[in-house]
Structure formats: structure tokens, C-alpha cells
Amino acid sequence: MSFIPIDPVAKFGIELITRTARSVTVQQFTRSIPLGGIGNFDEIALAVMNFDSIGTDMRYRLSVTRAPCDSIAEYDIIDLGTLGGFDSYATKVNARGQVVGTASKDSLVSHAFLWKNGSMRDLDSLHPLLSSTANSINDLGTVVGIDTVPFQIDGGVKIALNSLVTQGPHFLEAYDLNNQGQIAGWGKITGDTDRALLFRGGVVTALNTPFDRNYQPFSKAVAINNSGLVAGNIFQTTLFATIPVMWVNGEYNNGFNPTNFLLTADVNDSNVVVGNSVVYDGIYPYTHGSRWLGNNGLDLGVPAGFDNSEPSAINNHGVVVGKVYIGNHPELPSHAFVWKNGVMKDLNCLIAADPTWELQVATDINDSGIIVGYGSHLGKTRGFLLTPVHPTSVDRGTVADIPRTFKLLQNYPNPFNPATTIGYELPKASHITLKVYNILGQEVTVLVDGEEPPGFHTARFNGGNLSSGVYFYRLQTGGFNSTKDMIFIK
């Protein structure tokens, strides 16, 4: 619903009032407000106040519009459920369709969760009365998040992330990780403000910024791709400015200087960055999603009926997801969007008609086009998973993501002590062998020898009884042979 002042003098105040049998809700707004997230109500009223009545006739116009929707559903929707409470929020999805986030156990406590094979698993909390959340998951299934302290879950074992740090400052927040086990986030350095941090093989690097302490900058790393490029933001408290930045090989990239770019959200493996930019309609500033390759930017726009868009994630095909909203009120109910083929669409228009769902924020998308996020469902906030109707098959909530080629992945973590995970992809059912060799070429152990179905697989290697050094692992199947090295440090 839009409120359009016609009187050029009157200073208006507007409130939307809704009433049910049990409560009355009042929401203030300026120009427009989405009605979709308000829920069911018995009565709706609009209070218009004139704070400058002398010499004014208080003319205005109200209009209620509905954004046009596509008639063909493009996605199936899955309710991710909860851990016993009412609400859940999905944050990330990996290539295998595994989802992490946070979900309520009761009215007071929420725990990090892992959703896979159609069910939600509690990742627990280090303190039973405190909440936790999972921020990210890589394609090997390693999870990072925040509990009473930042944590990592590898091979089903949850540990404090800072216990793995052998050199450098400690994390306050572990926000994202890549398939090499490198982690981006932020922490506090003695005598300094929050600083963006990068974890690589036990060593934590404080990522530098181009500003001295006179500007009182603090920085946060929010995303890392599989090449180790880190994207984040610098906040200058004295200048009240936010500057999106990138770090390459742990060093500040001074060649990245996009104009009107406000806030970084994500980066893909092609080094394409997405985030928020400011645009003007002649009078009012608005936020539009934008994507950047170097200093070349593209305005992603907004769907019909909305003013603002804010991206959350971009996949390796350049598809972007996030949220859109009306007016200058990001705190009001938003709608989830997907941007692909140059067009941004409201995801609520792309699912099969279901009046019980309002998709509010899309938080991530993988390379198979699977989207996760959260929205309003039957009066509760619930995490959702959207699967494309045609390219991806879903069986009982399990996503079947079949690789196109054979591939042996780099082990994680690397270096390791004493155990590491090796991932590999099979486009078809195959008899494979996965073996480990020492630097002399002698066979150390056989991890896998047998028939495997198509899909993404992992094998666990424990070098506890071996000496430190370089080892090799080899995947062999009919017509495919690949070898990679790994480092074991006791």
C-alpha cells in the first residue's frame, strides 16, 4: 500500500493499525508498506496525522497494488522444521543440499542445526541455557558458527575454533569457510577495534586495511571463495562510512574501488562480488542489489511493486538471491528474491500457490539452484528449501545433486593433525579405489575399494600412527585417475 502526499505543505504522519480478537498492532511508515507480512486480522485502519495544519488542505492519495506473478511454478518448497520450538532460520546450503542455520528448542533457547536427508539434527550448544547458530557449511560438510565461542564441526566432532589456532589472534565470529578449510570472520586485537580475520592451516591473519587508527576503522570478513579471496567491509566510525573491500592472499586489494557500493554480502569462485549500492529517484535514496567484477558494476534492480533490494548470496553461475522491500523500512516484512538471466523476481511468485507461506529472505543458493532462507508459515518463522522443479529431483526431502564429471577434491583440513577428510565426485556409479601413499610411493592404506553410487562422497583418513610429512592420495576408476598431496604435522 502506498501513501502519496498531494498537499505540498502538510507534514504528514501515517500509521497502519490492525486489530484481531486478542491484539492491536500499530506500524508507522512514510511512503509505503507491504501488507503481505501482516498476517490475518479482523480490521484494518489508517491514521493520517497533519503536523502542520495551518494553510494546508491535507490532500493525499492511497493506492494498494499487487506485484504481478508468473503463472508457472519454478520451485518446490520444503519446510525445514524446528528442534521442538516454533521458529527456524536457514543460513547456508552446500553442493550436497545440506542446510545449516538456527532453530528454536523452546521459547528461550535456539540451537544451531544441520538439515540433511529430510531431517533436522541438533548441533547442540556448549552451554544448555545459551543459544547457538551455524553460519556456514562447505561442500565437505564442515560447519562453522557461534556458540558461547566460535566453533567448528568436522567429521561430526564439535570443537572451539580457537583451540585450532597455533598462531595469531582469536576469533569472535566465524562467518564463512571454503572447501580448503579456510575461515573468514572477525576478532579483536589487543588495543584495537574489531578486525577481519583469515584462518589458514592453524594460522590466523589479521587482514590489513588502508586506514590508520586516526579514522578508527573496524573491519569484518563476511565471505571467502575457493581461491581464498576474502570479501568484507571496513567501517570508519569517525567518517560514518562503510567501504566494501577484498583481500587477496591475505592482503588488502587496493584496486577494488567500486562507486556507490555500500556493503558486501558474498563472493563466488569467479571473484564476482554482490552487495548493496545506493541509487536515487531524484529525491529519495534507495538500496539496490549490485554485482561487481573488479570495478565494473551492474544494478540488479527490483521487481515490480518494490523499491529496495539487498542480496545475500551469489552462486558460481551468477544467480543472486536476497530480499526486497518497500520504502525505507528494511525492518518491515520483506519478500525473498532471485535474480537470474538479468531479471529479479519475487520468489513468492515462483512457488506453487500456497497461502500459508510468505518467503521473506533468501539467504543462500548453491550451483544446482537450490535456495534456502526463511519466511512466515502458519504464523511462525520457518526455514525453507526451494528446489528447481525441472533440473533437480527431490525424494522425501533429499536433494539428489549429481556431478557432471569425476573429480578429486583437496583434503580438509590441510595441513592436518591427526585426521582429515577427502572428498570426491562421481557422475555415475563406478568401482573406485582411494589409496594413500607416502613420499616413497609406498601404499599406506586403502580408504575405499568398491562400488560407489553417483554423487558427492567423502572418506576419512587418520594419520595418528604415521610420522609427519607429505603424503599422497589417489582416486582411480575406469578412465579416471587423479592424485593430490597433503601434509601431516604432528
pLDDT above 70: percentage of residues in the chain: 80
pTM for the model stands at 0.70
Q: Could you tell me the pLDDT band of residue 164, with boundaries at 50, 70 and 90?
A: very high
Mean pLDDT of the chain: 83
- Kindly provide the b/e burial profile for residues 16-52, where b requires at least 16 CB atoms within 10 angstroms of the residue's own CB: bebeeeeeeeeeebebbbbebebeeeeeeeeeeebee
Q: What is the pLDDT of residue 413?
A: 72
Q: What is the pLDDT of residue 26?
A: 75
Q: What is the pLDDT of residue 72?
A: 74
pLDDT in tens, 236-258: 766 667 888 899 888 888 778 78
Residue range(s) in the chain whose domain bears CATH number 2.120.10: 75-400
Statement: residue 2 has pLDDT above 90? no
Residue range(s) in the chain whose domain bears CATH number 2.60.40.1930: 407-488
Q: What is the pLDDT of residue 485?
A: 94
Q: What is the pLDDT of residue 4?
A: 56
Higher-pLDDT residue of 331, 399: 331
* CATH architecture observed for domain 407-488: Sandwich (2.60)
Can you say how many angstroms the Cα of residue 275 is from the centroid of all Cα atoms in its chain? 12
Statement: residue 210 has pLDDT above 90? no
pLDDT in tens, 433-460: 999 999 999 999 999 999 988 877 878 8
Rounded distance between C-alpha atoms, residue 185 and residue 232, angstroms? 9
Statement: residue 394 has pLDDT above 60? no
pLDDT in tens, 94-118: 999 999 999 999 878 999 999 998 8
Statement: residue 197 has pLDDT above 80? yes
Rounded distance between C-alpha atoms, residue 151 and residue 155, angstroms? 13
pLDDT in tens, 41-81: 567 777 776 655 555 555 655 555 445 565 578 898 999 99
- Which residues have C-beta within 8 Å of that of residue 243, sequence separation ≥ 6? 233, 234, 235, 236
Kindly report which listed range (71-75, 241-245, 335-339, 375-379) carries the lowest average pLDDT score. Answer: 71-75
Rounded distance between C-alpha atoms, residue 110 and residue 123, angstroms? 10
Place of cell 574489531: 194
Contact present, 261 and 240 (Cβ < 8 Å): no
pLDDT in tens, 12-40: 667 777 776 667 777 765 555 655 545 55
Higher-pLDDT residue of 374, 53: 374
Please give the average per-residue pLDDT across 156-184, as a whole number.
93
Please give the average per-residue pLDDT across 134-151, as a whole number.
94
Please give the average per-residue pLDDT across 84-93, as a whole number.
96
Q: What is the pLDDT of residue 21?
A: 65
pLDDT in tens, 406-421: 999 888 777 888 888 7
Contact present, 344 and 323 (Cβ < 8 Å): no
Rounded distance between C-alpha atoms, residue 404 and residue 391, angstroms? 13
- Which residues have C-beta within 8 Å of that of residue 94, sequence separation ≥ 6? 137, 138, 139, 141, 366
pLDDT above 90: percentage of residues in the chain: 45
**What's the CATH code, domain 75-400?**
2.120.10
Please give the average per-residue pLDDT across 360-379, as a whole number.
93
**In this structure, what C-alpha cell is assigned to residue 367?**
550451483
Kindly report which listed range (132-136, 364-368, 395-399) carries the lowest average pLDDT score. Answer: 395-399
Rounded distance between C-alpha atoms, residue 60 and residue 11, angstroms? 11
